[in-house]
Structure 1
């Protein structure tokens, strides 16, 4: 419930502090006095957009502060807890503050913590519901008629299920469309890859094979030279009968070994030569093994030459380095397989889309059935109310048309229309075709009152929603709002004395001007003051005894 509203330098308000109570509070005042300014200011605390024009002339900023009690609002308490904007150990009041600079910059705070406009709106939905003076015109829009029914039905889980199914369906449709649109490109690419992959499959190079071919190709290309030079080296190192490196080293070892008896410093030299002797002998043996294994094989040479040349040719053709031919082959294989999978996926998606659309239709049908049930209850409730508001013969219906052939939407497959017949014997027709301005106002007000009663928002604001209503109908409207005030805090800006008299409390808005500046004030009225204000609404500025008597009578009825 809204406890207090403080407004500074907003529009024509210099300073305004309002303490509010439970029940119905009527707000009255002369035309142009600014009866809706406090509501406009409160709207800023609920996340409405601000601009520099809202700041009072000559002021550097406007500031609005609203204090709410959350004692019986668990949803609002949970929201604040999730946003870490409330201390569970402190009291259950919540303070919202909005500051607008003369340059148009805006800041918002909840319990002293800076927040975004989206956060203000998130909290505001649990605190206040504002019905504007032109709200009944929104009834003429088909989308709003559906929204009214859905809010009355209170079937958010069914709505969310339809939205979820719709989003999944749209995602699959988008994927299917993308694959379908690129199908020709994929087919052209697939045909090219099919030839390339087949060519590389036939060659079937293995990982690391080109490096091995290159090594073997070099060896086979120089096999004759390798054999001749190896034989010569083996002959000089080991096999020559006349002189070889091994025998020369051995002779040196023998001579120096005899001499080291005369000079011990020759010992290390003898050791080095002995090691050299062993290494030359071992190298000679390995060289013999190498020569025995080295064959001059013309056939193998041809095979290696052919495969090596083919690898070079394919690498040039596909514009890759020969060492990367294997990796390129694997890459083409992967792309070719993916294209094949995309074609398979296209067929799979077609089947999936059918199943998803069936699931969507199932959810949409369940939502439609819930709407049908709620439509009957809403129609009965609205018809009952408008008949009390001097539309005694009116017939009101809520038509829900389910069309399974209609394009899928996030709202289901229903068309929702409000129908009314205002005279006996008429067939109910679309609201926009039948209802006059006054009738539309009464129907709109009835829907607003019924919708407000079905939702647990603690503060309801009606801003001149009784426009176009007068006489006995105004008394009925006042009674409706007063009954609503028994379970919720109701603030009603009105120009009708019958409605104002129905309030548990009444506030008067006045405007003063000194020729240079203008100020708006708002004050709570005592009983005698209420009588005078109601008399003014009844008879104008000149208060007569009959007007005062009528005002007392109006107040006495409540």
Structure 2
């Protein structure tokens, strides 16, 4: 509940501290005194947009702070803990302080429990603390969306609403995917034919990983085979095959000579060792070269096969604009792309089936929601009819029509398939019609108030504020409105800005708003009235500025009742 409101340099308020009580608080005052100024300040604390004219003239900034007791408000406690905005002090653990600072230039800063926060967070926590009903809010109840929301609030079937919304969002996501796949299906078909041709061509060639490197090596060897044979044979002749002179025989002779000399002079041992090692290496090289020569084959048929495959690999690489070494990787990528297109085609059938299944789930959930709404509509219609008759509409009838289009023609919506229509009849013999067609502004205001009282149990916020919702009401109806607001205050803190004595007298606390001026400056003050001053203020509301003993007696009687 709201505990305190502090206002500094706001509009025509210089400084104001208001302590609020539980139960029902009524706010009265003369016309133009600024009875709604506290409500406006609270609205800014709850995250409403601010303008530059909210700052008191000749002041640099306006400061507004609202303190709430959230001891019984588990939702607010959880929100503060989740956002790491709880007060650390155990004594103030269950308090929530909202603060707003607005500069004369229109800049604004927001605070929750002393921590600066984005304005959006003030709005979030504000929805868990206060619900403000303005004097024109009754105009909302003629709108279809608001009527549906009120009925759902009364029915308390959030799980059903969540199910319908879930299946609707799932269906919408699937239909969007289906639409996208269908749009690309024709394009994919042409693309698939091309890729299939390319894959078939590469499948037929069937180049293996690293095969091109081997092909290239073999091709070079075979295409230069005669040069390899001739050069190898010449080298073998030089090394060992020429009987007249060859390198190995000459080196062997030299090695033996120096070896003999090294026994005489040790300084030649290193030379002898190097020559011996060179001879060993030449022998090995000669042996390897001889083996290579013997294995060289000039097989034209085999070379033709290698040449053909090598040439085909080069042509395919050029055709697909890739390097020959990357041809195998390119081939695999085409296979994967072809599989993806085929998968999309298979996905079409799956999506169509999933859409049908999801739509059936949606229909089942929407039907269950419709049944719950109809049951709630019957109960709420009876309750509002009774309240209308109590609020000086003795022949009033209220009916909530819950209808659906035909199964083959309804439009899916996140809130279900129902069309909700609030219908009323005010006079005897008058047929039920849509509210906006038959109810006057005053009647709409009373019906709205009746709904708010009935729906109070569905409201999660512990504080309800009514800003002159009783406009256009008087006499016995006003007394009944006051009683209903007082009834509402048994379980919820109610703050009501009113001009009706029948409503003002029902408050457990009454605040009086006055406007003072010295000719140059104007200032609004709010005073809590004691019993004697309440009698005088109620009398003023009854009789105007000329208060008589009779009006005082009537005021006293109203307060006593």
Q: TM-score, normalised by structure 1?
A: 0.97
Q: Residue 199 of structure 2 aligns with which residue?
A: 197
Distance 1:470 1:272 in 2: 129
Q: Residue 534 of structure 2 aligns with which residue?
A: 530
Q: Residue 118 of structure 1 aligns with which residue?
A: 120
Counterparts of 1:241-320 in structure 2, within 5 Å, are 241-320=243-322
Residue 191 of structure 1: how far off its partner (Å): 1.9
Conserved in 1, the CA contact under 8 Å of 2:388 and 2:397? no
Conserved in 1, the CA contact under 8 Å of 2:399 and 2:432? yes
Tell me, yes or no, if structure 1 residue 424 matches structure 2 residue 428. yes
Residue 454 of structure 1: how far off its partner (Å): 3.4
Conserved in 1, the CA contact under 8 Å of 2:237 and 2:246? yes
Runs of 4+ in structure 1 deviating by more than 6 angstroms, as ranges, are none
- 3-state SS of the aligned residue for 1:289? helix
Check 1:456–1:337 CA distance in 2 against 1; reply closer, same or farther (3 A cut).
closer
For residues 119-171 of structure 1, the C-alpha deviation after alignment (integer angstroms, 9 at most, x for no partner) is 22222222111111101000110000001111111222221222222211111
Distance 2:174 2:458 in 1: 38
Conserved in 2, the CA contact under 8 Å of 1:131 and 1:448? no
Distance 2:189 2:260 in 1: 89
Conserved in 2, the CA contact under 8 Å of 1:394 and 1:421? yes
For residues 52-107 of structure 1, the C-alpha deviation after alignment (integer angstroms, 9 at most, x for no partner) is 22111111111111111122222222221122211373432221111111111111
Distance 2:199 2:262 in 1: 75
Conserved in 2, the CA contact under 8 Å of 1:153 and 1:374? yes
**Aligned with 1:397 (options 396, 399, 408):** 399
Moved more, 289-298 or 363-372: 363-372
Distance 2:300 2:34 in 1: 109
- 3-state SS of the aligned residue for 1:261? helix
Q: Residue 555 of structure 2 aligns with which residue?
A: 551
Q: Residue 64 of structure 2 aligns with which residue?
A: 64
Q: Residue 330 of structure 2 aligns with which residue?
A: 328
Distance 1:338 1:456 in 2: 51
Q: How many residues align?
A: 557
Conserved in 1, the CA contact under 8 Å of 2:28 and 2:498? yes
- 3-state SS of the aligned residue for 1:182? helix
**Aligned with 1:367 (options 334, 351, 369):** 369
Distance 1:435 1:260 in 2: 133
Conserved in 2, the CA contact under 8 Å of 1:453 and 1:484? no
For residues 224-253 of structure 1, the C-alpha deviation after alignment (integer angstroms, 9 at most, x for no partner) is 110111111112212222221111111112
Residue 379 of structure 1: how far off its partner (Å): 1.2
Tell me, yes or no, if structure 1 residue 510 matches structure 2 residue 514. yes
Moved more, 265-274 or 473-482: 265-274
Stretches of structure 1 that go unaligned for 5 or more consecutive residues are: none
Distance 1:467 1:11 in 2: 24
Distance 2:290 2:140 in 1: 104
Residue 116 of structure 1: how far off its partner (Å): 2.0
Distance 2:367 2:119 in 1: 36
Distance 2:453 2:482 in 1: 11
Q: Residue 345 of structure 2 aligns with which residue?
A: 343
For residues 273-293 of structure 1, the C-alpha deviation after alignment (integer angstroms, 9 at most, x for no partner) is 111111111111111111111
* Structural RMSD (CA): 1.5
Distance 1:41 1:165 in 2: 42
**Aligned with 1:491 (options 492, 495, 520):** 495
Residue 51 of structure 1: how far off its partner (Å): 2.0
Distance 1:255 1:54 in 2: 117
Distance 1:176 1:324 in 2: 36
Moved more, 167-176 or 139-148: 167-176
Conserved in 2, the CA contact under 8 Å of 1:79 and 1:123? yes
Counterparts of 1:74-93 in structure 2, within 5 Å, are 74-86=74-86, 87=88, 89-91=90-92, 92-93=94-95
Residue 456 of structure 1: how far off its partner (Å): 4.1
Distance 2:533 2:475 in 1: 23
- 3-state SS of the aligned residue for 1:260? helix
Q: Residue 54 of structure 1 aligns with which residue?
A: 54
Q: Residue 449 of structure 1 aligns with which residue?
A: 453
Q: TM-score, normalised by structure 2?
A: 0.96
Residue 516 of structure 1: how far off its partner (Å): 2.6
Q: Residue 475 of structure 2 aligns with which residue?
A: 471
Residue 257 of structure 1: how far off its partner (Å): 2.2
Moved more, 90-99 or 126-135: 90-99
